[in-house]
């Protein structure tokens, strides 16, 4: 028996998220079906972080246990022959039995992409939120977000239906920057609540459009005013970039493999 880790990239546009569901197509289901075709074994996969319907991943980390002769570093090549083009395995490696894709992660990194241009762009429409009514003030958004860094109770930024026992989590860093017409919101945290990033971005956009002040934004989450947090950003602009571990599990990947260059450098 060996444990294999996968670095997985997927376009979530037509999937009902990562986790298996009844009567819905999910990334986990398709990946496990591909593993069954290869190994003729029922394989259970575990992911670093759950993504909801329509959310993408550029560097999702998954592991599974298998009793099979295929070397750990060959699963990426074999699986890609059985997977749709919307799901790609960037790298596969054998890891120690105690390593876990979720529980061994130090923090996770999500990026939200806002297209703040006047006109839509068909090349990035499925991976960004076209918010064009007003020019966003990314400086205001950044200032409003900084108080969230550290360990806090983010109850206001948790959608109904969460099964977490606590809404306390630790945000390592929030970085908001504009590159031409793109506004990128990068959030790194030890864990994320259900719907947390999309609710945060929805509220920060209101700050950037000067519909609410940074003080109102801060009051809503520090005083757990969940009923006032009504605006949520759409799923298609959200991407699970990667998860970080104390050891460098994957050796072949650089940052441009995690996220397309044109969404890092922006476009003119």
Q: How far is CA 135 from CA 45, 159, 262, in A?
A: 43, 28, 21
Q: How far apart are CA 152 and CA 138, in angstroms?
A: 23
The encoded tokens of residue 197 equal 């990033």
Beta bridge partners of 88: 9
Q: How far is CA 235 from CA 34, 54, 95, 194, in A?
A: 26, 5, 32, 12
Q: How far apart are CA 69 and CA 46, in angstroms?
A: 21
Residues 114 and 176: beta-carbon distance below 8 Å: no
In this structure, is the dihedral angle defined by the CA atoms of residues 232, 130, 136 and 174, taken in order, positive or negative? positive
Q: How far apart are CA 158 and CA 171, in angstroms?
A: 14
The encoded tokens of residue 217 equal 């934004």
For residue 79, what is the enclosing H or E element?
Answer: helix 75-80
Identified catalytic residue from 52, 153, 181, 257: 52
Residues 184 and 197: beta-carbon distance below 8 Å: no
186 a catalytic residue: no
- At 48, give phi and psi (nearest 5°): -65, -35
Task: Enumerate the active-site residues.
Answer: 52
């Amino acid at each position: 028996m060996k444990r294999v880790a996968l670095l997985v990239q997927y376009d979530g546009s037509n999937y009902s998220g990562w986790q298996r569901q009844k009567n819905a197509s999910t990334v986990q289901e398709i990946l496990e079906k591909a593993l069954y075709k290869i190994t003729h074994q029922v394989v259970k996969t575990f992911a670093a972080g759950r993504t909801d319907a329509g959310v993408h991943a550029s560097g999702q980390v998954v592991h599974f246990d298998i009793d099979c002769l295929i070397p750990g570093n060959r699963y990426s090549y074999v699986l890609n022959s059985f997977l749709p083009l919307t799901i790609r395995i960037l790298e596969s490696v054998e890891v120690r039995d105690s390593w876990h894709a979720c529980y061994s992660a130090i923090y996770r990194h999500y990026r939200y992409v806002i297209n703040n241009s006047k006109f839509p762009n068909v090349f990035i429409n499925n991976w960004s939120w076209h918010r064009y009514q007003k020019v966003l003030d990314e400086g205001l958004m950044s200032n409003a977000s900084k108080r969230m860094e550290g360990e806090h109770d983010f109850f206001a930024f948790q959608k109904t239906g969460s099964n977490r026992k606590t809404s306390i989590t630790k945000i390592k860093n929030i970085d908001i920057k504009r590159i031409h017409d793109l506004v990128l919101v990068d959030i790194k945290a030890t864990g994320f609540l259900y719907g947390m990033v999309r609710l945060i971005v929805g509220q920060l956009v209101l700050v950037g459009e000067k519909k609410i002040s940074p003080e109102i934004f801060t009051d809503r989450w520090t005083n757990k005013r969940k009923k006032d947090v009504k605006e949520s950003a759409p799923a298609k602009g959200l991407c699970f970039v990667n998860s970080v571990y104390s050891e460098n599990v994957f050796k072949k990947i650089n940052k441009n493999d995690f996220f397309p260059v044109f969404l890092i450098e922006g476009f003119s």
